[in-house]
Amino acid sequence: MPSLIKMKDGRAITPPDPEIPFIAGDGIGPEIWLAARRVFDAAVAACGKKRRVAWLESFAGQAALKARGHTLPGETLDVIRSHAVAIKGPIGTPVGSGFTSVNVALRKIFDLYACVRPQKWIPGVPAPVPDPSKIDFVLFRENLEDVYAGIEWSSKSAEAGYVRNFLRTEFHIDLPDDSGIGIKPMSEAITKRFVRRALRFALDRRRRSVTFVHKGNIMKFTEGAFRTWGYEVGRMEFGKRTVTEGEVREGASAKGKVVLKDRIADAMFQEVILKPGEHDVIVCPNLNGDYLSDACAALVGGLGMAPGANIGDQAAIFEATHGTAPDIAGKDLGNPSGLILSGAMMFEFLGWEDVAARIRGAVEGTVLAGTVTGDLARGRKDVTQVGTQKFGELVAAGAGKA
């Protein structure tokens, strides 16, 4: 009988034989999962006989809708709850009313408050910047608050009329009568919990710096407060191991410490392109993080290469950041690297760093050898294009090498 992973203080306690649920997902999901699983099994097997993973299939999205009449069945939620850690392929949201996004629902149900997206360039991957070798970011995006909290009313609704009226009578703020209304909540406790996780990560992994990205110059009491609360966590909870950029400028030593800095969001878009070496762990509110993470993913080779995770204190779900790619589904064309590298993140989270290193090394080796999927082969004569499964086989062979 395989064993269960437990979470304590937001960290995983991993038995040598964990059972890990997977959701293959929709569109290219089943193909990329097949390729990725082969890589995971090869990497685990190569790391010694004492460890093994039992994969447990769970369903969500279209497959679940067909079989169970619901895109997110209760039994899938029970499995994630009892197993704490899961990995999934992309899940589409059917267009039209009545379907909420499975991805958003999972974040809310399991309180997965931190979206984590590493962006590291792999040699051999085409990049749109002159020197991508300096790009090695881990972007933390707050997952639950900000304009994504879902508090929104259309211009014609009674609720929007009520809020406009309230603002007019109570605060003398006169909005046009055809204004839609959205609310942007950002709270101290949720922000601090999120920043705490990012700072712990930076310290555990010996990263050089943490950059808070905000528009506090314009939105002082939401984005500006995010910045203030970020520095407060740094100073009050990790004071001995952090130093601010300002203090370093005045002569303080940064030796052995994580340097805390902040940037206005628009300036940050320039800096990740022009001065990528200056940033390391990047900590963003929800909307800034949404924009910036896709931009950073483009700098290191695009969607097919981008891994991700949604992490809370009780559960963590690892997944590629791309969608279901319906245009190439079923054609053996999808790049499984995003999901494979999400698996590497998962093994690192479980404390199996050796497995993670094997997986990352094998993806790098395969790409560097010039064997890539269609998304990376486009317009290039110096590489050989292979299908999803062949790419998975090559990476698995690399991951399993003695």
Catalytic residue numbers read 148, 215, 266, 290
Residue number of the CB closest to ligand ATP reads 323
Contact of 72 with 59, CB cutoff 8 Å: no
What is the pairing mode between strands 114-120 and 258-264? unpaired
Min separation Cβ 55 and ligand ATP, Å: 20
> What b-and-e string marks burial along 30-41, b requiring 16 or more CB atoms within 10 Å of the CB?
ebbbebbbbbbb
Specify the DSSP class assigned to residue 241: G
- How far apart CA 216 and CA 72 sit, in angstroms, is 37
By CB under 6 A, which span of 79-87, 187-195, 208-216, 317-325 interacts with ligand ATP? Answer: 317-325
Angle at 244 between CA 242 and CA 250, to 5 degrees: 125
Tokens at residue 208, please?
A: 């050089």
Q: Is 322 in the site for ligand ATP (CB under 6 A)?
A: yes
Using the minimum distance from each CB to ligand ATP, give the nearer residue, 95 or 236. Answer: 95
For residue 56, the surrounding DSSP H or E stretch is strand 54-57
Binding mask 144-183 for ligand ATP (x = CB under 6 A): ----------------------------------------
Q: Which is nearer to ligand ATP, 146 or 375 (CB)?
A: 375
* Phi and psi angles of residue 202, each rounded to the nearest 5 degrees, phi first: -60, -40
Within 10 A of 44 (CB to CB), how many other CB atoms are there?
20
- Phi, psi angle pair for 157, to nearest 5°: -75, 155
Q: Which of residues 90 and 365 has its CB atom nearest to ligand ATP in the complex?
A: 90
User: Which residues in 250-309 contact ligand ATP (CB under 6 A)?
Assistant: 303-304
Cβ nearer to ligand ATP, comparing 15 with 94: 94
- Single-letter amino acid code for the residue at 23: I
> Is residue 89 close enough to count as binding ligand ATP by CB under 6 A?
no
Judged by CB, which is closer to ligand ATP: 47, or 325? 325
Q: Decide if residue 92 touches ligand ATP (CB under 6 A).
A: yes
Strand pairing class (242-244; 258-264): parallel
Under DSSP, is residue 98 helix (H, G, I), strand (E, B) or coil? coil
**Distance in Å, CB of 256 to ligand ATP, minimum:** 39
**Binder among 150, 185, 326, 351 for ligand ATP (CB under 6 A):** 326
Sequence-ordered list of residues with C-beta below 8 angstroms from that of 97, at least 6 positions apart, any chain: none
User: Which residues partner with 371 through β-bridges?
Assistant: 384
Residue 177: Cβ within 10 Å count: 11
Binding residues with ligand ATP: total (CB under 6 A):
15
Nearer to ligand ATP, 35 or 44 (CB): 35
Show the binding pattern over residues 327-356: x = contacts ligand ATP (CB under 6 A), - = does not: xx-----xx--x------------------
Instruction: Kindly indicate which of the ranges 113-121, 176-184, 276-284, 319-327 contains the residues binding ligand ATP, using the contact rule CB under 6 A.
Output: 319-327
Closest C-alpha among 396, 395, 402 to residue 41: 396
What is the nearest approach in angstroms of ligand ATP to the Cβ of residue 249?
41
Write the single-letter amino acid at 361. Answer: G
User: Which pair of structure tokens corresponds to residue 151?
Assistant: 């508090």
Return the residue of 10, 323, 361, 387 that touches ligand ATP, per CB under 6 A. 323
Sole window of 266-274, 284-292, 321-329, 347-355 interacting with ligand ATP (rule: CB under 6 A):
321-329
Out of 53, 363, 375, 396, name the contact with ligand ATP by CB under 6 A.
Answer: 375
Q: Which of 18, 25, 90, 365 binds ligand ATP (CB under 6 A)?
A: 90
Smallest distance from ligand ATP to CB 93, Å: 7
Least separation, in Å, of the C-beta of 260 and ligand ATP? 33
Least separation, in Å, of the C-beta of 310 and ligand ATP? 16
Distances (CA, A) of 102 to 61, 109, 144, 171, 301: 7, 10, 14, 39, 27
Tokens of 100: 């909420």
Q: Which helix (H) or strand (E) holds 247?
A: helix 245-249
Segment near ligand ATP (CB under 6 A); pick from 48-56, 173-181, 220-228, 324-332? 324-332
DSSP conformation class of 336: T
What is the contact surface with ligand ATP in residues (CB under 6 A)?
Answer: 90, 92, 303-304, 322-328, 334-335, 338, 375
